[in-house]
Structure formats: structure tokens, C-alpha cells
Amino acid sequence: MGLFDRVFRGSAEMYQKAEEELAKVIAELGEDAQMQMPDTAYFLSCIYAYLGKKVTKLSELRDALAEIKGKMTTNYRTTDVFSSGIGTAMAAEVIEATKYARTPTPYEGTVYHGHFSDAEVRELGVPLVTQDIPGFVVVIGPAPSTEEAVNLIKGYQTRGIFVFLIGGVIDQAVEAGLSMGFPVRVVPVGQEIWSVGHIISLVERAAMIFGAVQPGDWEAFNEYSMARIFAFVNAYKPVADIVVACGGGAIAMGFPVITNDTDDMWRVPKSLIIQEDTEDFIETSLEARDIKIKITNIDIPVAFSTAFEGEIIRKADMRVDINGARFDCFEWVRSQEAKDIEDHQIIVDGPDIADIEPGGSMSLGVIVDVAGKNMQPDFEPVFERKFHNFLNCIEGVMHTGQRDMIRIRISNTAFEAGFSIRHIGEVLYAKVKSEYDTVVDKCQVTLVTDKAKLKELRAEANKTYDKRDLRLRAMTDENVEVFYNCILCQSFSPAHVCIVTPERLGLCGAVSWLDAKATNELDPNGPCQVVTKKRVIDERVGAFEDVNEAVQKYSHGALQQVTLYSILEDPMTSCGCFECICGIEPISNGVSIVNREHTGVTPLGMTFSEMASMTGGGVQTPGFMGHGKHFIASKKFLKAEGGVARIVWMPKALKETVRERLNESAKELYGIDDFCDRIADEDSVTDDPEALLAFLTEKEHPVLAMEPLL
């Protein structure tokens, strides 16, 4: 028999029961008898929500039931399953309502809760909306054993999930002496399946109260519960037709049903899930409904706080030294398929701190596997770079470096307090899950200390690092779809907006295009927003209509337009935190670049801070521009003015930092070798433009053959 038939049959069953019960109560009380649920302003809220009907007496309930029957259509389309399912829920509400027609307290003296008051809806609704309660589960059944029932309920409790119980599972909870009630977030609703009507009533009222959904707007109610109410159903076998019909309603509302029943059952992806191993109900359910559990505390024996970020562990206080310069060590984030990893699994492979002689050294490879629907490999390095901050916050742990050049020291005190390698995993797990909860659903940490295995793993990690570097190098402004803006420093420089592109990182040097992308996706309302680049105005100078619009918007109107590749025509503005400034040197027709660390004067006759005072503050200053160090070697640097060949002067230290890549760019652009040697520095020229010109002439600097700048 098909799933459709089971739903339709269960639906009819519920209707028949409702009709019987209603007839009975009308016979008892008369059709004019008042009908109201206690402590609610929303009447019979399933009926009020879906049909827009305010039921206040039994005759109206009878009319409503007739309308419900009309919703229980059986045309073998999915919509019929949904419609019948919702109809089943409403019929369930009718059955329960008949009890309240006789007395406002039909469940008095029982363990069952029955109807929820508006106050209870608000009390549960607020944390549901804020996701302080990440979701709720409706458990129907008896579980295979009392023990298993208890494990399931407690498992949900520890994850903060609200639990509603229906049927035999309540008896099991009572038998186990489990504490139940609203405050402990476990509520036994009722023995029969129609008590589910109370839960649906609660959901509909939440939609009306918190979502301002209008009664009668059938679709809107389903959309609201789908988008905002993170609920799901666990139904133990055997699942009767009437339960299947209720399940149809649940699915229509966006609540997946997880069951271990395989008889006459069909898998429907994301909606009806068969999990035969009931011990895995929790994980399967949370995944099905996209529920992420917040991590609030980190389980380690020492303190964790930013106050320890600056702690230095001296050799004498050191229990163990992990040194990537001497041994095979690395930190490596890998994106994985959700099914391949287990959340919160922490594996230590090899000796622990206790196995090392005091003051000795060990190797450590940290592999953090993450999975999530929104996870992208581009986030891996973003996470990795944060490990330094995470691990440094541990009391008694000092961390420097990244990738395979890490260094970690663990203090004697930390070790004596019980700190072991595993706790590094606990910290990384907790921080990755909480800081990146928008993209990480599952996280597993492997800590390899077995030297024999590390060599190979390190080589593998290096392959990933190389691949990433290559990807970064291969990315150009032309081969990405969008740019990002960054307004992190607007508190200092109110009108400034950075446009971050693959070939032009933020002028502070700290925000690359990938960082901006990750920031945007991890914090969609944060300081980095997508900037499209569809409407080109002038390719040569890097002018786009979309970029100008973004600049106008994010500078709150202070700036009208910028170009990305020109220092003369509407150059990008500067805040105050740029790594370098370049300014036009008119005698040579080139530019001088000076970095923040350099205190001496430049051939322009100005120092870094003099130039900074003229360039900063989000004001466009043609001829001057702040930028990041890594922009210097970019092929987009001063592209409109002829590119890097315009660079005539840089402090020596800066030149060394960018030498390799700048030489490469110059070779590629102009076919010149050893371009950096042709650039003057403070040893050859300080503030004399004539001497600069002489130097450039002697070195045959390409700028001498270029068009005048001004």
C-alpha cells in the first residue's frame, strides 16, 4: 500500500473520531453550548489559523469540522497529503476541544499537560524565536525500552531542545522517575495521538504572535513554521496510519519526521527519514532540521580568556615544546562531507604530554575536519589563521605561527592541572563551532603526535597549502563575479570605504578578497558586503557603476565615485590604517612608496606621517593613496598609469618584503629582470629628487621612457 493511501486512511480515521466525539458532546451539552479553550485569545487556534474561523460554541465547531473534511482531499498528489495532514491536525484539535467543552481542566489529576495557555506559548516562543531553545521535538511512541526513552529525552535536554511527549513514551518516562514539566523542558502532552492538536495549536499561535501571520492565510502559516520554528517528530514503530497522517501535516509545516518503522514506509528526502538505529535519532533529527547546538563552555582543566593571550612561557616553566621548525608539525583545516565525520569527536593519535620527559619536545599535527552545507574550502585558511588566537587564550599555552611553522609551548602548571593534547582539540572544536556556526555544522579534530605518521601528513597538508596559494595567485579581478567592500575602520574614518578585490587587498593589509568573502558569509550583516561589478564604465582605470553605487551607499553619501586602478582619477580613499602610502614624484614621473614603519623622509620631501595626514580621513587626494604592502606587486597597481614601472623609490625593508613578487610582475609586464634593483631606496636617495633622477637614469629605470604623469 502506498504512502498516500496511509495518509488518507489515517486522515479519515481522525475525522471519524472527531465526528463521533463532537456528536457525543453536542448530545450532552446542546449545540449552543459555549466552546472555548482556557487562557487564550486565539480561539481554537489551528482552526482559527488555517480556516480563519473563530469558534466560540459547539455549533460553530461542527461547521468547522465540515470545512475540515473538505480539506482532506485524496487526489494522490503531494498537495493532498499536505492538505489532509493539516486537516488531520485540525480534526485532532476538534477531538481535544470536546474535552474542554465539558470542563476547562480535563487533564486535572493526570500527568498530561493538554492545552497550552497563551502565556506558555509566549514563554516558549521567545527562546524559540531567539534560538536560545534551538528547537523542539515531538516524541511519539513507546521507545524500544525505558532506558532508551530516558536516553533520548535526556539527550535532547542536554542540547537545549524542548521535548513534547505523546503516548507510551510518557509511561516510560514516568516509570524511570524522570522529572517533567515546562521548567525542565519536557512536557507529556497526552496519551492519544490527537493530543498532537495542542502542539500544532502552540505553533500556530506562535506564528500569529511572533510573525504577525494573519488568520486564514494557510500558506503563510506553513511558511512561517518552516522558516522560523525548528521542530521535528520522532515516531517509534509501529507507526499507525493515523500517526502517518499527522506526519503528513508535520511535513507540510516543515517539520521532518524521523522513524525506525520500515513497514509500509517510504523515504522522502529531508521530510520522512527512516533511521533504523534508534540510538542515532538525535543526530539524524538535528541534521534533518538543520539545528545547530550552541557551545557555551569549553571543557578544559585550565582557564580560557583573552587575558592569557600575551602569556609567555619560558623554558624553565615549559612542560613540553612543540616546534614546527625542528619537527613535523602543522595545522590543517579540511572541508569534509557531513557523513564522513562525527561531530565533537576528538582523536589523539600517538603519545600524550605525560609520555614526554619534562621539558622535552614533541611533534603535533592538528587536523580539523569541518562539514556544513555552507562550508567552502576558501574558509579553511580563514579558520586556520584564527587558531593562533584561540590557542593563545588557554592559560599555560603559548602559540605562534601557522601552517607547518607552528610553535606551541605548554606550561608545567597547565600540565599539572590536567591539561593534555586532547584539550587542544576541545578548544578548537568549541571555538570553530561557535565562531563559525553559520557555516560549520559538524567539526571533528584529530591530533596526531605519532612521529611516524606525521611526515606523510605534513606533505599532504603542504599540498593543500600550495594549492591554496596557487588559487589565490591565479585569482584576478576579472575572473571573480563580485568584489567586497570593507568598512571596518569607519569608526576612525567615517567616510572611508575599501573596495577589496582579488588583486587589491584592503589598504590595512589585513583583509584579502577571501577574508572579505568569508567575513561576509559568516556575518551577512557585518562590515563586508558584496559589491557587484557588472556595469563597467572604464576598464582601464577600473571604474564600475556598481562600485560607485556601493561607495556612495557605504560612505553615506560622502563619496561619489572611485576607480580601482588609478592614483590620478578618483583614487580610492584612505582611512588611517594603511600599511603604505604612495605619492607622485613629479620630477621622475614616478611614485614613491613608503611604509608605516619607515620614519625617514621620502624624495617627495615628506615623511610617512606627513603624507598620511594629507591622505587619510576618507578624502580623495589625487596623486596620493594608501594601500597594503601586497598590493605593490599586483598587476593592478597603478594600472591606469602604466603599472608597477612607476615605482621609483621604496624603503629598503619594504623592497625586500615585496622583491620576489614585484620582480615577477615586472618581468611579466615589461620583460625586465631584477626590477627592484632599479628602484631607489634610502641608501641611494633620501629627499633629493635630482639625485633620484640621476639614480634612475643610471639604472635605466623603465619610468624614464613612460608618458609624463601630469
Q: Which residues bind another protein (CB under 8 A)?
A: 119, 122, 125-127, 129-132, 209-212, 306-312, 392, 398, 487, 490-492, 494-495, 525-527, 553, 556-558, 568, 576-577, 583-587, 596-597, 601, 603-606, 610, 613-614, 616-617, 619-624, 687, 689-690, 710
Place of cell 569527536: 345
Nearer to another protein, 104 or 557 (CB): 557
Nearer to another protein, 496 or 630 (CB): 496
Alpha helices in 580-688 (DSSP H): 608-615, 652-670
Minimum Å distance from CB 630 to another protein?
Answer: 17
User: In sequence order, what are the beta bridge partners of 274?
Assistant: 259
Pairing assessment for the beta strands 580-585 and 590-595 based on DSSP bridges: antiparallel
Q: What angle do CA 158, 163, 167 make, to 5 degrees?
A: 135
Q: Within 10 Å of residue 678's Cβ, how many Cβ atoms? A: 20
Minimum Å distance from CB 311 to another protein?
Answer: 6
Contacts 24+ apart (CB under 8 A), 164-167: 164/136, 164/137, 164/138, 164/139, 164/189, 164/199, 165/139, 165/189, 166/138, 166/139, 166/140, 166/190, 166/191, 166/192, 166/193, 166/195, 166/196, 167/140, 167/141, 167/142, 167/191, 167/192, 167/193
Nearer to another protein, 80 or 395 (CB): 395
Cell numbers placing 361: 619536545
Cα–Cα distance measured from residue 153 to residue 143, given in angstroms and rounded to the nearest whole number: 11
Cα–Cα distance measured from residue 36 to residue 43, given in angstroms and rounded to the nearest whole number: 6
Residue pair 532/546 in contact by the 8 Å Cβ criterion: yes
Nearer to another protein, 205 or 458 (CB): 205
The separation between CA 18 and the C-alpha centre of its own chain, rounded to angstroms, equals: 45
Minimum Å distance from CB 652 to another protein?
Answer: 19
Nearer to another protein, 192 or 309 (CB): 309
Nearer to another protein, 168 or 576 (CB): 576
Minimum Å distance from CB 622 to another protein?
Answer: 5
Cα atoms in the Cβ-side hemisphere of radius 13 Å centred on 248: 35
Q: What values do phi and psi take at 504, rounded to 5?
A: -140, 100
Distances (CA, A) of 462 to 353, 381, 466, 578: 26, 13, 6, 31
Side chain identity, residue 586 = P
- Strand, coil or helix: what is 701? coil
Minimum Å distance from CB 351 to another protein?
Answer: 28
Minimum Å distance from CB 495 to another protein?
Answer: 7
Nearer to another protein, 4 or 554 (CB): 554
Nearer to another protein, 46 or 508 (CB): 508
Q: Within 10 Å of residue 489's Cβ, how many Cβ atoms? A: 22
Minimum Å distance from CB 297 to another protein?
Answer: 14
Cα–Cα distance measured from residue 178 to residue 633, given in angstroms and rounded to the nearest whole number: 67
User: In sequence order, what are the beta bridge partners of 231?
Assistant: 136
Nearer to another protein, 418 or 524 (CB): 524
Residue pair 585/649 in contact by the 8 Å Cβ criterion: yes
Nearer to another protein, 285 or 490 (CB): 490
Nearer to another protein, 73 or 657 (CB): 657
Nearer to another protein, 523 or 700 (CB): 523
Q: What values do phi and psi take at 499, rounded to 5?
A: -105, 120
Nearer to another protein, 16 or 599 (CB): 599
Nearer to another protein, 284 or 485 (CB): 485
Whole-angstrom Cα Rg for the chain:
33
Contacts 24+ apart (CB under 8 A), 217-222: 217/52, 218/50, 218/86, 221/49, 221/50, 221/253, 222/82, 222/86, 222/252, 222/253, 222/254
Cell numbers placing 124: 516558549
The separation between CA 384 and the C-alpha centre of its own chain, rounded to angstroms, equals: 16
> Do you know the residue count of the chain?
710
Minimum Å distance from CB 632 to another protein?
Answer: 20
Minimum Å distance from CB 338 to another protein?
Answer: 27
Cell numbers placing 250: 508535520
Minimum Å distance from CB 221 to another protein?
Answer: 14
Residue pair 265/279 in contact by the 8 Å Cβ criterion: no
